[in-house]
Amino acid sequence: MRFIPTMLHGAADYIVGLITISLPFYLGLEGKPRTVLVVLGIVAIAYSLLTDYELGVVRFLRIRFHLLLDALFGIALLLMPLVFEIAADISWPLFVIGALSLILAATTEVRATGTAPVN
């Protein structure tokens, strides 16, 4: 059941991207975990700017592909504590953001207002 408007999803994309970029500094992560989180945040903002929805700037990527990228983003965040052996007491934000990304990808409408219908 898809009920989240793409406009709300777009706002969440930019906020989550910025949070993901700042999170390793807040958590005190260094090295590869810091780099991966910063890169993930930048990539999330970049593909949001390229998405064909209300808050997209270039409107190149279809929303369905964007939602696939969001799901991959969520899976990456869920796996990070395991891959990089991040302590359980500071890894909870990664699990929360990862799970919310998967939920948002599964519940966002697949057509933005003012965009062409998907054939």
pLDDT tens, residue by residue, 3-40 = 999 999 999 999 999 999 999 999 999 999 999 999 99
Q: What is the pTM of this model?
A: 0.92
Bridge partners (DSSP) of residue 108 are: 4
- How many domains is the chain built from? 1
- Return the structure tokens found at 8: 């709300």
Q: How far apart are CA 52 and CA 23, in angstroms?
A: 27
Considering the domain boundaries, does residue 118 fall inside one? no
- Give the pLDDT confidence of 89-101 residue by residue, as tens digits: 999 999 999 999 9
Considering the domain boundaries, does residue 114 fall inside one? no
What's the domain range around 39? 6-107
Considering the domain boundaries, does residue 102 fall inside one? yes
Considering the domain boundaries, does residue 87 fall inside one? yes
Q: What pLDDT score does 111 carry?
A: 80
Considering the domain boundaries, does residue 103 fall inside one? yes
